[in-house]
Amino acid sequence: MVGAIAVAFIEPIAAGSGIPQIKCYLNGVKIPRVVRLKTLVVKVFGVICSVAGGLAVGKEGPMIHSGAVVAAGVSQGRSTSLKKDFKMFEYFRRDTEKRDFVSAGAAAGVSAAFGAPVGGVLFSLEEGASFWNQMLTWRIFFASMVSSFTLNFFLSIYHNKAGELSSPGLINFGRFDSDTVQYNLYEIPLFIIMGALGGMFGALFNLLNNWLTIFRIRYVHRPCLQVMEAMLVAAVTATVSFTMIYFSNDCQPLGPDHTEEYPLQLFCADGEYNSMATAFFNTPERSVRSLFHNPPGTYNPVTLGVFTLAYFLLAVWTYGLTVSAGVFIPSLLIGAAWGRLFGILLSVIASSQSIWADPGKYALMGAAAQLGGIVRMTLSLTVILVEATGNVTYGFPIMLVLMTAKIVGDYFVEGLYDLHIKLQSVPFLHWEAPATSHWLTAREVMSSPVTCFNRVEKVGMIVDVLSNTSTNHNGFPVVTHTTGHDEPGKICGLILRSQLIVLLKHKVFVERASSRLIQRKLQLKDFRDAYPRFPPIQSIHVSQDERECMMDLTEFMNPTPYTVPQETSLPRVFKLFRALGLRHLVVVDNENRVVGLVTRKDLARYHMGKDGLEELHLAQM
């Protein structure tokens, strides 16, 4: 309840895992408040509450989001929330630089969460970066390594072995012993079957969760309702757990070689512990570990089956609640449970407890399949799982499982994060242009007519355009002087809304069109100081006299913006946007006259649907 109140009333953007938001941010979509200090505080506080409250959630997604916020904050050398400017890192007060820091922060978060520095780098690249830059990647890797090292160092103090650096990650899947980790050629088809199962269960998970999210968007949008739903889920989770532990008769003898740290007797006889309670009455991380490593025979198949079903439904219901919560660990737990069940059934069929049907191995594969089926990550997830288990031998089967899960899952429905991004209607650009878009040209995609400015423009005109809410573009082409509005002018530059606002705020006006500006010059610093919260146009007062002044844009505009001719095909425009990280692309005719403007939103509208190319409705943002 406390966690849900904090999220619902103080900072709703802190809800969920934060990974869809970070994905959007790295894609270039500006989501308000996603990397603010307040979000970080609420997120960290909220996730402590939801994990401690016993919900079916993990803390790994929020940790990735937190890493990103910390990086975004540190890189700016100031906090606008705390109204404190340390006068450093001013060079980084730009969108592109800040985005690089956010990707490094997300990587560091993954690295700390799973002890997977390489996996963190690949996560950032797979989910975020579009232009592969060697230096940036190396820096991200460095950040990940330092993050893992720092965590390691503090954990070694916590475990009273200060200085002995051997526990790399916060969750530890435990070391698979080298002697038992081998797999055999004939197991590979089994792994592929598990991948397919994982893809189907994952698709089912996503579908149910998608319906639930649509329901929530429609009916559960008031904060107090959201808090009540969270409380309901918590109550049901607790009830289900206790009921199932109570009715379970899976009591295991507490032998001398039992591996549980805190075996729970509960309703079992003396000298025995309740196996269902090991799965339910633990942090999810520890449950996953015991499913991976407990010796064969520790779990009853019925226990595992019932647990899988119950936990699956609880996890579906929990993800998307107004609490800070990740989906990684619940997915792994569901998968580990049915994977172990699969392994047990196999060894029953093979009618021998032979070494290859080690249920722990199948629990690992099941976990990979389920997680892959839900989030559909492949490369980074393989590496994360390999690093988290500390063993490279399983690399190939994990990859096979994840790939199968992705292929099977994609057949039914998109990945969980993509579904949530889609429900937010943001102009998210995918990796490739839609397949059948080759016949579309820039002319059909662009917004037209486009508002242009002259090199020397009247202040009143600029204020009017910026105040006009219907033309909410962020970039305006600057053209050579035109006589009428019927004929477009030749392009000579591009100026951003934020630049114009800073110019208006500092009143960089000239009296007549011919006179040059002799007042104080604007510095680059003035633009950086205003970043990232440029004042709205309404807050800038321009008097009637000033409206008649002129503003010379020549020295502030970008004199060589990227342009394309009207006939350029959509895939080519798309490639320019993705490869160069553009936000605006000016479309010109063969006389270099401005005829339109392509923005991210124009591109994101086109989407491959079931019936070919579809146009999406996108939120105003």
In the complex, least distance from residue 148 CB atom to a copy of itself, rounded to whole angstroms: 7
Please report whether residue 567 would count as binding a copy of itself according to CB under 8 A: yes
According to CB under 8 A, which one of 32, 134, 470, 487 is a site residue for a copy of itself? 134
**Rounded to whole angstroms, how far apart are CA atoms 22 and 606?**
22
Please report whether residue 396 would count as binding a copy of itself according to CB under 8 A: yes
Please report whether residue 492 would count as binding a copy of itself according to CB under 8 A: yes
Residue number, 282 or 382, with CB nearest to a copy of itself: 382
**Rounded to whole angstroms, how far apart are CA atoms 304 and 334?**
10
Looking only at Cα atoms, what is the longest distance across the chain? Answer: 97
The kind and range of the H/E element at 586 are: strand 584-588
Residue number, 175 or 221, with CB nearest to a copy of itself: 175
The answer for residues whose C-beta is within 8 angstroms of residue 253's C-beta and 6 or more apart is 271, 272
In the complex, least distance from residue 356 CB atom to a copy of itself, rounded to whole angstroms: 10
Please report whether residue 31 would count as binding a copy of itself according to CB under 8 A: no
Please report whether residue 19 would count as binding a copy of itself according to CB under 8 A: no
- DSSP state string for 445-506: HSB-S---EESEEEHHHHHHHHH-TT---SEEEEES--SSSSSPPBEEEEEEHHHHHHHHHT
Using CB under 8 A, count the residues that bind a copy of itself.
69
**Rounded to whole angstroms, how far apart are CA atoms 599 and 97?**
21
The answer for residues whose C-beta is within 8 angstroms of residue 243's C-beta and 6 or more apart is none
Q: Which residue has the tokens 């895992």?
A: 17
Region from 74-82, 326-334, 339-347, 556-564 binding a copy of itself, contact rule CB under 8 A: 556-564
Region from 221-229, 248-256, 344-352, 569-577 binding a copy of itself, contact rule CB under 8 A: 569-577
Task: Name which of residues 264 to 293 contact a copy of itself (CB under 8 A).
Answer: none
Question: 84: which strand partners?
Answer: 79
Please report whether residue 258 would count as binding a copy of itself according to CB under 8 A: no
In the complex, least distance from residue 374 CB atom to a copy of itself, rounded to whole angstroms: 18
Please report whether residue 447 would count as binding a copy of itself according to CB under 8 A: no
DSSP class of 609: E
φ/ψ (deg, to 5) at 246 = -65, -45
Residue number, 118 or 375, with CB nearest to a copy of itself: 118
Please report whether residue 118 would count as binding a copy of itself according to CB under 8 A: yes
**Rounded to whole angstroms, how far apart are CA atoms 499 and 94?**
12
Question: 613: which strand partners?
Answer: 608
HSE, side-chain direction, 13 A CA sphere, residue 448: 17
Please report whether residue 424 would count as binding a copy of itself according to CB under 8 A: no
| Residue 451: Cβ within 10 Å count | 15
x/- letters, 353..382, toward a copy of itself (CB under 8 A)? -------------------------xx--x
Please report whether residue 403 would count as binding a copy of itself according to CB under 8 A: yes
The residues binding a copy of itself (CB under 8 A) are 115, 117-118, 121-122, 125-126, 129-135, 137-138, 141-142, 145, 148-149, 152-153, 163-166, 168, 175, 178, 181-186, 378-379, 382-383, 386-387, 390-393, 395-396, 399, 403, 431-432, 490, 492, 559-560, 564-565, 567-569, 572, 575-576, 579-580, 590-592
